[in-house]
Amino acid sequence: MASDSLSFAEVMSAFAIEFEVDPYGDGHINDTYIADSTPKYILQRINTSIFKNPDELMHNISSVTKHLRNAIIKKGGNPDRETLNIIKTTDGKLYYRSSDGKCYRMYKFVDNTLSLNLPENPEQFEESARAFGQFQNMLSDFDASTLYETIPDFHHTPKRTQNLINAYEKDTAGRKNEVKDIYDGYMKYAEICNSIQDCLDSGEIPYRVTHNDTKLNNVLFDKDTEKCLCVIDLDTVMPGSLLCDFGDSLRFGASTAVEDEADLDKVWFSLEYFESYTKGFIGELKDTITKKEIELLPLSALVLTYECGIRFLTDYLDGDTYFKIHYPDQNLVRAKNHLKLCQDIFSKLDEMKKIVEKYI
Ligand code: ADP
Ligand code: GN1
Ligand code: MG
């Protein structure tokens, strides 16, 4: 049972599900728990220092899941398992604010599924690409103007670079000297990594309703069929670039090692996995993806790996206030890991272009 179980009793009764909960999953942002009842439920304490307006956040998730539900029904799927289902509080609210001011939401637990931190084979990764591609397709007719921006400038890479520069100058946690080489290593890619934002700003590529956090453990695989069943973690569904969804999946899933692997000899960018993801993603989006977006697919893997890597480094410099850590220098380990990945991706961009050409 979770240690702060006293307050959980209050929270669970607000949803009329009076059952003990245990910590669950590997998310870096919210506190996730499972109620091992029949049926099971997911309870999440929303990270309100990141998602500052839970009303807007839950409005987005509610309207997006309603839309997805209709799209899933139309294609003959099971909406109770193929998208998130919010369980409202007994007084009809989308989340519960507890007496100590914390915000909790509840979802149906999608049972008999797997959430992976590395794909086990290329076919599995291709399958996740189809799932994120289909997710994008199902939201292509969603009215983007009804969505709130839950985290401002979430994938604005130039602003992320500026945040790193500021954190380095400020040196809140006194770690600046320790990270100098890593910082300099990242700065070599700063300019080239402005490309997605520059193209959005100039209108060369479109804004679409995108997921924005397409790591492999944000899609659930059906244990029986091994097919992707449900795209989860909808906190950052907002207008953005399809390239961010593509690149972020690769940063996480096309690496030969997990995100916090400290032995850099194990960290490489796999062209085989790049190919399988590209095949699945382009296969789903061939009717809508533009020429310019196709041209930028390889670079997007670099941009999103750079962007996430500098976010880890910024957080380390700030004293670990954003991403969950399980040991003191985990954010630094993640940042070193992603720098190694950036270097490898950069050296493989020409080969990646040739792979993309095979699928257009
Ligand atoms: P975070 O924003 O912290 O990443 P997530 O919403 O991704 O939180 O949830 C963390 C993990 O919990 C997921 O990676 C997944 O393994 C599991 N999870 C979340 N929601 C569900 C659900 N409805 N059914 C089954 N597992 C879930
Ligand atoms: C966070 O929430 P989670 O763990 O699925 C983060 C992503 C990062 C990722 C790095 C809202 O994803 O942007 O890419 O960690 N989510 C948010 O693993 O910041
Ligand atoms: Mg997640």
**pLDDT tens figures, 128-158:** 999 999 999 999 999 999 999 999 999 999 9
What DSSP designation does 311 have? H
226: left (phi over 0), alpha (psi -120 to 50) or beta: left
- Tell me, what's the pLDDT at 2? 47
> pLDDT for 214-252, tens place per residue?
999 999 999 999 999 999 999 999 999 999 999 999 999
> pLDDT for 282-321, tens place per residue?
999 999 999 999 999 999 999 999 999 999 999 999 999 9
- Residue 223 neighbours by CB distance under 10 Å: 11
- Residue 147 neighbours by CB distance under 10 Å: 18
- Tell me, what's the pLDDT at 47? 98
Which residue of 218, 322, 323, 326 sits with most ligand 1 atoms within 8 Å of its CB, as the best mutation to test the pocket? Answer: 218
Which residue of 117, 233, 326 sits with most ligand 1 atoms within 8 Å of its CB, as the best mutation to test the pocket? Answer: 233
**Ligand 1 centre distance from Cα of residue 157 (Å):** 26
CB 308 within 8 A of CB 339: no
Q: What is the number of the ligand 2 atom nearest to the C-alpha of 322?
A: 19
Residue 194 has pLDDT above 50, yes or no: yes
Pairing of strands 41-45, 31-35: antiparallel
Residue 1 has pLDDT above 80, yes or no: no
- Tell me, what's the pLDDT at 313? 99
Contacts of residue 271, defined as CB under 8 A and 6 or more positions apart, other chains included, come to 348, 351, 352, 355
Residue 24 has pLDDT above 80, yes or no: yes
- Residue 41 host element (H or E): strand 41-45
**Ligand 1 binding pocket, CB closer than 6 Å:** 24-30, 32, 42, 84, 107, 109-110, 113, 115, 217-218, 220, 232-233, 235
Six token digits for residue 197: 């934002």
CA distance 23 to 9: 15
